[in-house]
Amino acid sequence: MRKQLITMTKKESRRYDIIKDVINKKIDGTQASIKLNLSIRQTKRLKVRVKKYGIQGIIHRSRGKESNKKIDSKLIDKIIKITEENYSDFTSQLTYEKLTEIHNISLSYSTVRRIRINNGLSIIKERKANKKHFSQRKRKEYYGEMNQFDGSYHDWLEGRCTDKGLEEEQCLLLSVDDATGDPVAMLDKNESIKASFKFWKEYVIEKGKPVSIYVDRFSTYKVNHKNAEDNKEFKTQFQRAMEGELGIKVIFANSPQAKGRVERMNGTFQDRLVKELRLAKINNIKDTNEFIRKEFIPKFSKKFNVLAKKKGNLHTRLTKQESDNLDHIFSVKDTRKVRNDFVVQYKNRYLQLDEIQVTTVYKKDEVVVEEHLDNSIHICKKTNHGDKYLSFKELPAKPIKEIEIKLPAITRYKSSHIPPANHPWRSLQFGNTQKIKERNKF
């Protein structure tokens, strides 16, 4: 007769020994229940099963049987097929969301993740050891108290971008409220001052002015010259507009980790937004910004935003004067001097001031040339009664100076004429006489 092999865990083996002591009346049921950490009723059940089935009475009856909650193999095959066709490079979390939203497959995240791992669709990555310790900074208490702002260069449209010159890389400008994690994003070609101005102009119109903006030390936001620390007059266009004209404090981070919320969200967007744009078949910046504003951000905010510690909104609405002068505030400004011919030179462009102006203009006066976001040029002069815009017309070409006319007396040219052998200069004696005689022999 073949012997049956029974496998038991240490816990089951211990239970069997205790129940045997109860059956052999070495201990009573109360003592056994305390040792097993079970109720007296459950201890009695185990005693009855051991008496009836022996050692097998300790082993759970469902061992070796299929679970009643086992997922149908057809459903697993369906999930694998959908994932391979549409979401092969998605994370398990994003795949789980798309299966629920689009394909009406209601499974838990852990189940979807396990299916992906078992079929080689997801790889478990080891966490990298931290080389440096950073302590977490507490969030601000109020909404609008501080916004973290950054630009992220990435191929957001995965090579589908039809905008000229932006086929390989675009820049996402992203602002994250520090208290709630509420994001605002806009895709542009770079992180230039005009792109930043365009972003913040739309922001303050829609939500108002935050108390402060937390940015890195990129040249758009901060003058990184060694003397700038001592000379506070060295300010960028961004600082001038935010601090000087809107009263928004600009704070500079000393490391990427200092503004970690926006840095991490950039990484999240590089994963989620890229795939959402792919599914929506978007291939240009205009449609991307429309999709971000109307579809992606509302859904993302609903899922990931947190409540601020204290109720209240510290955004300040624009005054009427600020609203009327937004084009003036969010413009690139440069100081120039009026030349003797009443021409203002700006970026190889020559702007001729009109004779009749709203205010008196003298030679050598300082004026401010403003380049607005629509690339239009305006000339402004500061007066005791406010800024006055001057009328002008752009000259079609650079004026020709008299000095640039070529004069025959001072024009240098190379002649191809070779003097004959009897030319007077050949008889001139300079230098070593012996060498000259030897040379004249030829």
- pLDDT tens track for 61-87: 777 777 777 888 899 999 999 999 999
Please write the tens of the pLDDT for every residue from 188-229: 999 999 999 999 999 999 999 999 999 988 888 887 766 655
Between 299 and 437, name the one with better pLDDT.
Answer: 299
pLDDT bin (cut points 50, 70, 90) of residue 54 is confident
Between 226 and 321, name the one with better pLDDT.
Answer: 321
Within the chain, how many helices (H) and strands (E) appear? 14, 12
Query: What's the gap between Cα 246 and its chain centre?
Result: 24
pLDDT bin (cut points 50, 70, 90) of residue 12 is confident
Give the separation between CA 374 and CA 327, rounded to whole angstroms: 9
Please write the tens of the pLDDT for every residue from 155-170: 999 989 998 888 889 9
* Proportion of the chain above pLDDT 90, given as a percent: 51
82 sits in which H/E element: helix 73-86
- At residue 435, the pLDDT reads 56
Residue showing tokens 């369906």: 78
**Cα 82-83-86 angle, rounded to 5 deg:** 80
The mean pLDDT of 288-317, rounded to a whole number, is 94
pLDDT bin (cut points 50, 70, 90) of residue 186 is very high
The mean pLDDT of 27-50, rounded to a whole number, is 90
**CATH class of this structure's domain 147-304:** alpha beta
The answer to whether the beta carbons of residues 57 and 50 sit under 8 Å apart is: yes
pLDDT bin (cut points 50, 70, 90) of residue 276 is very high
Of 10-19, 55-64, 268-277, 380-389, minimum mean pLDDT range? 55-64
- At residue 440, the pLDDT reads 55
Between helices 73-86 and 109-118, what is the axis angle to 10°? Answer: 80
The answer to whether the beta carbons of residues 150 and 263 sit under 8 Å apart is: yes
- Straight-line distance from the first to the last Cα atom of the chain, in angstroms, rounded to the nearest whole number: 127
Give the separation between CA 182 and CA 351, rounded to whole angstroms: 45
Of 283-292, 355-364, 390-399, minimum mean pLDDT range? 390-399
- At residue 314, the pLDDT reads 95
The answer to whether the beta carbons of residues 189 and 286 sit under 8 Å apart is: no
pLDDT bin (cut points 50, 70, 90) of residue 123 is confident
- Please state the pTM of the whole predicted model: 0.72
Of 8-12, 79-83, 144-148, minimum mean pLDDT range? 8-12
Give the separation between CA 330 and CA 336, rounded to whole angstroms: 19
Does the CA dihedral 193-168-376-349 come out positive or negative?
positive
The answer to whether the beta carbons of residues 174 and 266 sit under 8 Å apart is: yes
Of 119-133, 181-195, 299-313, 385-399, minimum mean pLDDT range? 119-133
Give the separation between CA 346 and CA 395, rounded to whole angstroms: 12
The mean pLDDT of 120-145, rounded to a whole number, is 80
Please write the tens of the pLDDT for every residue from 378-424: 999 988 888 889 999 998 876 666 555 554 544 455 567 777 878 77
Q: Strand runs (DSSP E) across 189-346, as ranges? A: 212-215, 249-252, 332-337, 343-346
Between 269 and 430, name the one with better pLDDT.
Answer: 269
SS3 87: coil
Give the separation between CA 386 and CA 233, rounded to whole angstroms: 22
The mean pLDDT of 326-350, rounded to a whole number, is 91
Break the chain into its structural domains and give their ranges: 10-57, 73-118, 147-304, 331-411
Between 171 and 54, name the one with better pLDDT.
Answer: 171
Give the separation between CA 434 and CA 439, rounded to whole angstroms: 9
367 sits in which H/E element: strand 366-371
